[in-house]
Amino acid sequence: MRKVTGAVVLAGLAAIVLSMVPVADAAAAAQKPGIFGIWLGIGRNSPNFAKWKNKPNAPTPEFTAWGAQQSREQGRLGVELPTPGACEPVNPAQFVGGGLFPNQILDGGNQIVLMNEWQAVPRRIYTDGRKHPAADDLVPTWEGHSVGRWEGDTLVVDVDHFNDRAWFDRAGNFHSDALKLQERYTLRTPDLIWYEATIEDPKVFTRSWKIA
């Protein structure tokens, strides 16, 4: 992968990093790591998990019997990736890794707001110490409900309350409404963020797994 605006680019087909483009966000708070601004995801994810085998940072999902059957059916039918094809929102892992479109990270005081050029749907990460609401108190969505906290230079985000309408790729690999994500945004240099997500979905996968 090529160098983008002076940023260090990490090799690996499944790697997702965010590279700073030269547009500053004046709202960035001095007390927080400098993640605020406009960023470009420069990972290049294959549209099929199987093609990531033996690649650096390759995800290693293991399906339940039901998850494997559903994935095969959707892949064999050649169903289009439902969210971009229908101009619907995507899940956070797709949101961050979409390298064709930049992401803007805004400091909202007690929340962090993520925007993407492809879809003007704000994603809010609450950092005021609140917990996830009870399942009956919130309608599941494509992006889920996000609460975050700082661990040094890393923003750690727990995401819950998803619907089951988004996929991870274009080969039929999907998630259910039981999906839970933990995301880690780590500022490695002033112009590079390393993104990692731990994926847990007991309906579809036998164990948790990661993309990075």
pLDDT tens track, the chain, 212 positions: 222 333 322 222 234 445 544 344 444 444 667 899 998 876 655 545 565 555 655 666 788 999 888 877 776 555 555 555 556 677 777 666 555 678 899 998 899 999 888 777 789 999 999 999 998 899 999 899 999 999 998 999 999 999 998 877 666 678 999 999 999 999 999 888 998 889 999 999 999 988 87
pLDDT reported for residue 11: 27
Single pTM value for the model: 0.78
Rounded to whole angstroms, how far apart are CA atoms 189 and 164? Answer: 35
Rounded to whole angstroms, how far apart are CA atoms 138 and 66? Answer: 27
The pair of three-digit structure tokens given for residue 155, joined into one six-digit string: 């923003």
Cα–Cα distances in angstroms (integers) from residue 203 to residues 19, 57, 132, 206, in the given order = 34, 24, 20, 8
pLDDT reported for residue 139: 92
The pair of three-digit structure tokens given for residue 41, joined into one six-digit string: 């995801």
Helices of type H across the chain: 65-77, 82-85, 92-97
The pair of three-digit structure tokens given for residue 200, joined into one six-digit string: 């847990």
Strand bridging mode 154-160 / 192-200: unpaired
Check: CB of residue 18 under 8 Å from CB of residue 41.
Answer: yes
Check: CB of residue 132 under 8 Å from CB of residue 161.
Answer: yes
What length does the chain have? 212
Please list the residues that pair with 94 across neighbouring strands: none
Check: CB of residue 20 under 8 Å from CB of residue 5.
Answer: yes
pLDDT reported for residue 212: 76
Check: CB of residue 9 under 8 Å from CB of residue 3.
Answer: yes
Rounded to whole angstroms, how far apart are CA atoms 196 and 96? Answer: 10
Cβ-based neighbour number of residue 35 at 10 Å: 20
Check: CB of residue 170 under 8 Å from CB of residue 48.
Answer: yes
pLDDT reported for residue 180: 96
E strand or H helix at 112, and its extent?
A: strand 111-116
Check: CB of residue 88 under 8 Å from CB of residue 142.
Answer: yes
Check: CB of residue 167 under 8 Å from CB of residue 70.
Answer: no
